[in-house]
């Protein structure tokens, strides 16, 4: 039994797992669920959301809210320069794929991309090469349409699909996500990693808030200081509470995706964990590991743990 309550954004949208069609969500049911979990603040936030005649949360309004929330999340990613962290891993990984003769184009897929900030950032500033395709996948049609519009406005070479990222017609060569893995728990987390066991997939990296005693406090502070939307403030703090410890991530990756060598990126083991607020669990095909370590150069010490120990 998971002791961590769900985030508001987990419950105010629902999709058919097969068709990905949006399903109606009864506001009163969500409110009742949060009340049952003693999450009165979350219940209050949901209770204020507009509904249609049947009592379902109005999808258009929910999507508008999610777009505003994601803009605020993007602001935090900009401030913490998240793009540079991913770039620091992606560039050496791509150079290894090229050196090992893995067939291009290399499809880099953002899992649960929302409005595609990181995909667009990589398209603009990633310097990843012409043999790379950048793809963002998400279930939410409105967020994907928004991502497409944003990419079009700035003429960025990337594209977005309303899809399960792990069931694309052509699978990804590299999968990554940011702030997604804490939404998966228990068997779901293991299944998340298992979904990447595809022949064409060479590597994956999933970034999230680093779980620590200080993380919830830091998340509270930053979400109070930087966010406006009550939902963003609520879910941001809960994300830090729900962030998985590194060992949980490595164990789930080991059982879910045994075909990959696992490691951690930007792990911070200090007693005051403020140096690295984000970390990533990384998986690479074992044959690529020596090349990756070499390609990382002076940054190689940022990779630790797991199968590197």
Q: Which is nearer to another protein, 120 or 234 (CB)?
A: 120
Q: Which is nearer to another protein, 184 or 220 (CB)?
A: 220
Single residue of 27, 39, 120, 185 touching another protein by CB under 8 A: 120
Q: How far is the CB of 275 from another protein (least distance, A)?
A: 6
Phi, psi of 191 (to 5 degrees): -65, -35
Q: Give per-residue burial for 14-43: e unless 16+ CB within 10 Å, then b.
A: beeeeeeebeebebeebbebbeeeebeebb
**What is the four-CA torsion angle of 120, 243, 38, 23, rounded to 10 degrees?**
40
Single residue of 129, 269, 275, 286 touching another protein by CB under 8 A: 275
Single residue of 154, 199, 213, 270 touching another protein by CB under 8 A: 154
Q: Which is nearer to another protein, 252 or 278 (CB)?
A: 278
Which stretch in 16-24, 94-102, 115-123, 243-251 sits in contact with another protein by CB under 8 A? Answer: 115-123
The answer to whether 117 touches 144, Cβ cutoff 8 Å, is no
What would the two tokens of residue 102 be? 């893995």
The binding track of 224-243 with respect to another protein, each residue x by CB under 8 A or -, is xxxxx---------------
Query: What's the DSSP call for residue 156?
Result: -
Q: Which of 44, 19, 3 is nearest to 233 (CA)?
A: 44
Q: How far is the CB of 287 from another protein (least distance, A)?
A: 30
Single residue of 27, 85, 234, 242 touching another protein by CB under 8 A: 85
By the rule CB under 8 A, 4 interacts with another protein? no
For the chain, count helices (H), then strands (E): 12, 8
Q: How far is the CB of 212 from another protein (least distance, A)?
A: 12
Supply the DSSP string of 176-202, one letter for each residue.
EEES-GGG--THHHHHHHHTT--TT--
Which stretch in 35-43, 147-155, 177-185, 285-293 sits in contact with another protein by CB under 8 A? Answer: 147-155
> How many angstroms from the chain centroid is the CA of residue 61?
23
- Give the Cα separation of 81 and 94 in Å (integer): 21
Contact residues for another protein, defined by CB under 8 A: 67-68, 70-72, 74-75, 79-81, 84-85, 115, 117, 120-121, 124-125, 146, 149-150, 153-154, 156, 218, 221-222, 224-228, 274-277
């Amino acid at each position: 039994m998971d002791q961590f309550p769900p985030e508001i954004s987990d419950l105010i949208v629902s999709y058919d797992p097969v068709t990905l069609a949006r399903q109606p969500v009864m506001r009163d049911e969500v409110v009742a669920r949060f009340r049952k979990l003693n999450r009165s603040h979350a219940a209050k936030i949901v209770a204020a959301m507009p509904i249609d005649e049947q009592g379902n949360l109005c999808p258009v309004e929910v999507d508008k809210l999610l777009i505003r929330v994601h803009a605020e999340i993007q602001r935090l990613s900009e401030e913490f320069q998240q793009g540079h962290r991913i770039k620091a891993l992606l560039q050496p990984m791509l150079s290894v794929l090229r050196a090992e003769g893995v067939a291009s184009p290399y499809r880099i897929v953002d899992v649960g991309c929302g409005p595609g900030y990181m995909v667009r950032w990589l398209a603009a500033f990633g310097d990843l090469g012409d043999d790379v395709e950048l793809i963002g996948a998400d279930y939410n049609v409105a967020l994907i349409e928004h991502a497409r519009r944003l990419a079009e406005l700035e003429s960025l070479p990337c594209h977005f699909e309303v899809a399960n990222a792990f069931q694309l017609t052509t699978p990804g060569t590299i999968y990554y996500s940011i702030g997604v893995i804490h939404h998966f728990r228990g068997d779901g987390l293991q299944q998340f990693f298992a979904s990447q066991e595809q022949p064409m997939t060479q590597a994956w990296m999933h970034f999230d808030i680093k779980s620590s005693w200080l993380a919830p406090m830091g998340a509270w502070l930053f979400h109070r200081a930087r966010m406006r939307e009550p939902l963003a403030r609520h879910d941001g703090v809960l994300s830090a509470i729900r962030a998985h410890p590194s060992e949980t991530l490595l164990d789930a990756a080991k059982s879910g995706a045994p075909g990959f060598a696992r490691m951690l990126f930007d792990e911070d083991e200090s007693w005051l964990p403020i140096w690295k607020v984000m970390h990533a669990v990384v998986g690479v095909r074992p044959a690529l590991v020596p090349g990756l370590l070499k390609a990382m150069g002076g940054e190689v010490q940022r990779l630790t743990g797991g199968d590197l120990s």
